[in-house]
Amino acid sequence: MIKEEYRLNNGACLQEFKSISENGPLLVIAPGGGYYTLTDNEGTCVAEKFAEYGFRCFVLRYATADTQDPCGADVALNDMSAAVRMIRESDPAAPLFLLGFSAGGHLCASFANVWKQEETKYGLLCDTLKPAGTVLCYPALNFDRILHSYEDDELPDTIQNKITVFQKLVRKGLAGNEETEADLSKFDVIQKVNSDTPPSFMWGTEEDELIDPETLYQYQKALKKYGTECVLTLFEKGSHGLSLATKQSAYNEKMINDDVASWVEEAAQWMKGKTV
């Protein structure tokens, strides 16, 4: 249940949820949606679930192309920075984690790579904005598969047209426009991992039609290069967008997967292990 709502810039909103704990770890949740919308089943139900574990949860409804102008991944990153700064003003000491799905996972990873720069930008004390860790759920660490994997496929015109429209939406969501020549390589968060990037718990599925599982291994390798922990679980079955993979988040029976649903308990315990 929503406890409070806070308005940020560009129409973005931070929703705070009730928790069983008044001093538990902080958790900022970023739904997915390709930066062109926000996916309904990756916000409220996730916050309510992790609130049961004693996390003080916030859902960040960041800038997306379907509702806000300007939009783009950079604008959403500003929203994440503003949200973390706002939370830290009221609680500067509690462990703070970021949890994101798909494009929301990209957003969390993006902030995890630049939090130190954000501190410098706003003249904050050392480690004020540092996340204790990130939980990345089928994260779009780069957008190569979405934007390029269908180019050589011999698909019927009707399907190809739908894919083309979808790719334009993703480009607009990322860069704020639909230009096909726009350089989107700058949104590859794997290449931006550094010594200040916090530990990560990550999961995906081998059947994901939008996320290349290899990118998850690449992110793990990039973190380990700096001696930073990255727990990675790759489930055999399951499509993109499963969220909790339970009845609580599922749109249909195919989105219920008991094996995948185990990620919630594992992620909760991993985060709690970082607070000891």
How are strands ordered across the β-sheet holding 26-30? 2-7, 13-17, 56-61, 26-30, 96-101, 133-137, 200-205, 230-235
Report the C-alpha gap between 33 and 39 in whole angstroms. 5
Range of the domain at 12: 2-143+188-273
What is the DSSP secondary-structure string of 64-129? -TTT-SS-SHHHHHHHHHHHHHHHHHH-SSS-EEEEEETHHHHHHHHHHHHHHHHHHHHTPPTTSS
Q: Is residue 150 domain-resident?
A: no
Q: Is residue 154 domain-resident?
A: no
- pTM of the model as a whole: 0.93
261: left (phi over 0), alpha (psi -120 to 50) or beta: alpha
pLDDT value for 152: 53
What is the CATH number for 112?
A: 3.40.50.1820
- Identify the sign of the CA torsion 245, 247, 252, 258: positive
Stretch 99-127: mean pLDDT:
96
pLDDT value for 9: 79
The CA angle 51-114-57, to the nearest 5 degrees, is 10
Q: Which range (18-27, 44-53, 137-146) has the least confidence? A: 137-146
Stretch 239-255: mean pLDDT:
94
Question: 101: which strand partners?
Answer: 137
Which of 185, 99, 116 has the alpha carbon at shortest distance from 144? Answer: 185
Stretch 110-133: mean pLDDT:
96
pLDDT one-digit tens code per residue, 141-167? 987 777 766 555 565 665 566 666 677
Q: Is residue 244 domain-resident?
A: yes
pLDDT one-digit tens code per residue, 61-112? 999 988 888 888 999 999 999 999 999 999 999 999 999 999 999 999 999 9
Structural domains of the chain, count: 1
Q: Is a pLDDT exceeding 60 seen at residue 264?
A: yes
Q: Is residue 204 domain-resident?
A: yes
Q: Is residue 71 domain-resident?
A: yes
pLDDT value for 13: 95
Q: Is residue 203 domain-resident?
A: yes
| Helix (H), strand (E), coil (C) string for 195-255 | CCCCCEEEEEECCCCCCCHHHHHHHHHHHHHCCCCEEEEEECCCCCCCCCCCCCCCCCHHH
Q: Is residue 197 domain-resident?
A: yes
pLDDT value for 154: 61
Exposure string of 153-180, with b = 16+ CB inside 10 Å and e = fewer, is eeeeeeeeeeeeebbbbbbbbbbbeeee
Q: What's the pLDDT band for 15 if we cut at 50, 70, 90?
A: very high
130 DSSP 8-state letter: -
Q: Is a pLDDT exceeding 80 seen at residue 179?
A: no
pLDDT exceeding 90 applies to what percent of the chain?
Answer: 73
Q: What's the pLDDT band for 276 if we cut at 50, 70, 90?
A: confident
Say if residues 115 and 125 touch (Cβ distance below 8 Å): no
pLDDT one-digit tens code per residue, 186-236? 899 999 999 999 999 999 999 988 888 999 999 999 999 999 999 999 999
Q: Is residue 199 domain-resident?
A: yes
Stretch 38-58: mean pLDDT:
97
pLDDT value for 253: 92
Report the C-alpha gap between 54 and 65 in whole angstroms. 33
